């Protein structure tokens, strides 16, 4: 996985003045849009969109110092107007392009290189488990993609569940963990957009077919799953575990992500300082 990420950095570097295709990037890294964006965000500490913007402005800075015209640079790096480029450039380095060109002010943003940084010596608890095909029955809606913080659209979905829907889900819940699952799938395409939506489902795992008109069903095909149990303050422990999965475990493991929904659940029966959760990541062994 690290090699694929470094190949992507090389690709971006040679295409900074062009529109970068999400399909081409997907082929290089071998991941879906959502999984890649999430993994990149955790590993790099910023979005892919932000990284590409920073690299373009850094190279533009060098060219301005070397005598390039502001107008030429603005259009070369994909800005529709000189004003738009100047505004983005000033937000990035604190100076207008004309000031940089005149006073030879330089700010750099180096190309990323990904490598394994071994530190801390703290192992992650996980297990690899093959699950037979099963269904998840519940309620769902399109919600904004949001990697951090509280997603209020998901909260509204949870609050919209009726007593009848709740009873129906409980009647069907015959598989582990016999409690509410949070499931995310059908992510919008597009690597470079910070906007986008996914379908979020709140429901229960079941071996049965859904007979209820007011509930929806998705089928999860047989697959391997990397399952990460975690316990501690909620939601901090859950969020930290998720970050480590994508930034530490996946790049150094013998597994890679596949395009099935991501699943998690949290047992809220107890104090918020010691909450048990599990994160299920669909994977396959690397060839």
CATH number at residue 197: 3.20.80.10
pLDDT at 192: 44
Inside any domain, residue 110 = no
At residue 148, the pLDDT reads 66
Going residue by residue through the chain (287 aa), what tens digit of pLDDT does each one get? Answer: 678 889 999 999 999 999 887 778 888 888 766 677 778 887 787 888 889 999 999 999 999 999 999 999 999 999 999 999 999 999 999 999 999 999 998 888 999 887 765 554 556 789 999 999 999 999 999 998 776 667 899 999 999 999 999 999 999 999 999 999 999 988 775 444 446 788 999 999 999 999 999 999 999 999 999 999 999 988 888 888 888 888 888 877 888 888 899 999 999 877 778 899 999 999 999 87
Q: What whole-number distance in Å separates Cα of residue 196 and Cα of residue 8?
A: 22
Is 60 exposed, middle or buried, given 0-12, 13-18 or 19+ CB atoms closer than 10 A? buried
Secondary structure of the chain: what % helix, strand, coil (to 5)?
Answer: 40, 25, 40
Do 144 and 280 sit in the same domain of this protein?
yes
Does some domain include residue 42? yes
Q: Read off the CATH number of the domain in which 36 is found.
A: 1.10.10.60
Q: Give the N- to C-terminal CA distance of the chain in Å, as an integer.
A: 12
The answer to whether residues 99 and 134 belong to one domain is no
- 47 token code pair: 């979005």
DSSP string, 14-77: TTTTSPPPHHHHHHHHTS-HHHHHHHHHHHHSS-HHHHHHHHHHHHHHHHHHTT--HHHHHHHT
Domain carrying residue 173: 127-285
Q: Is residue 113 part of a domain?
A: no
Q: Evaluate whether 101 touches 70 at the Cβ level (below 8 Å).
A: yes
Q: How many domains does the chain have?
A: 2
Burial of 173 (0-12, 13-18, 19+ CB in 10 A): buried
Q: Which residue, among 214, 198, 211, 34, has the nearest Cα to 135 in the 3D structure?
A: 211
Q: What's the pLDDT score for residue 4?
A: 84
């Amino acid at each position: 996985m690290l090699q694929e990420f470094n190949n992507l950095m090389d690709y971006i570097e040679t295409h900074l003045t062009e529109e970068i295709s999400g399909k081409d990037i997907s082929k290089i890294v071998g991941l879906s849009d959502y999984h890649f964006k999430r993994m990149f965000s955790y590993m790099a500490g910023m979005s892919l969109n932000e990284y590409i913007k920073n690299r373009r402005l850094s190279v533009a800075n060098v060219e301005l110092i070397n005598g390039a015209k502001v107008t030429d640079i603005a259009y070369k790096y994909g800005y529709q107007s000189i004003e738009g480029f100047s505004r983005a450039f000033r937000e990035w380095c604190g100076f207008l392009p004309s000031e940089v060109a005149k006073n030879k002010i330089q700010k750099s943003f180096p190309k990323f290189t990904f490598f394994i940084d071994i530190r801390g010596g703290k192992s992650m608890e996980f297990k690899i488990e093959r699950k037979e095909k099963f269904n998840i029955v519940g309620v769902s809606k399109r919600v904004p993609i949001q990697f951090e913080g509280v997603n209020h659209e998901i909260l509204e979905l949870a609050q919209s569940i009726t007593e009848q829907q709740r009873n129906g889900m409980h009647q069907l819940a015959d598989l582990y963990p016999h409690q509410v699952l949070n499931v995310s799938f059908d992510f919008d395409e597009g690597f470079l957009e910070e906007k986008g939506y996914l379908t979020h489902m709140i429901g229960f795992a079941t071996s049965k077919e859904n007979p209820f008109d007011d509930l929806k069903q998705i089928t999860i095909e047989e697959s391997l799953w990397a399952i990460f149990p975690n316990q501690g303050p909620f939601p901090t422990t859950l969020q930290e575990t998720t970050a480590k999965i994508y930034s530490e475990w996946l790049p150094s493991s013998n597994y890679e992500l596949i395009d099935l929904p991501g699943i998690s659940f949290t047992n809220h029966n107890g104090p918020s300082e010691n909450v048990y959760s599990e994160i299920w990541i669909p994977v396959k062994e690397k060839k």
